[in-house]
Amino acid sequence: MTQFEDRERAFEARFAHDEELRFKSLARRNKLLGQWAAEKLGRSGEAADAYAKEVIRSDFAEPGDEDVFRKVRGDFNEAGLEVSDAELRLKMRELLVEAAEQLS
């Protein structure tokens, strides 16, 4: 095997690892977001866990974060909660950082 092939395999392995870590971080972020939102919605125990799973599943609707944002935004609107879009997006960013730190 040549040095070039070794480098290429190392790069591919690193890319696969980074993508796996990104996927896990987003899934954990969505769980944390679901738990946070459930608390805001007055849910606890099994109802909060079920809601967090709904938020996780909502991420599979389309690529990116908009599907998760719309899910939580819609639930907050339906419940009459006063949480701004900016606050919700900030919370999503903060929880992504927290999720990544938890996985490190």
Which of 32, 30, 41 lies closest to 76, judged by CA? 41
What's the pLDDT score for residue 20?
83
Give the type of residue at 93. Answer: R
Length of the chain equals: 104
Distance CA 39, CA 75 (A): 12
What's the pLDDT score for residue 66?
94
What's the pLDDT score for residue 60?
86
What's the pLDDT score for residue 3?
79
Instruction: Dihedral sign for Cα 24, 101, 56, 61, please.
Output: negative
Which of 48, 46, 56 lies closest to 25, judged by CA? 56
Q: DSSP E strands: which ranges in the chain?
A: none
Is the pLDDT at 1 greater than 70? The verdict is no
Domains of the chain: which residue ranges? 3-103
pLDDT digits (tens, 9 = 90+) for 23-37: 899 999 999 999 999
CATH 1.20.1260.10 fits 3-103, yes or no: no
pLDDT digits (tens, 9 = 90+) for 43-100: 999 999 999 999 999 988 788 899 999 999 999 999 999 999 999 999 999 999 999 9
Distance CA 39, CA 25 (A): 21
C-alpha dihedral, 42 to 89 to 73 to 87, nearest 10°: 60
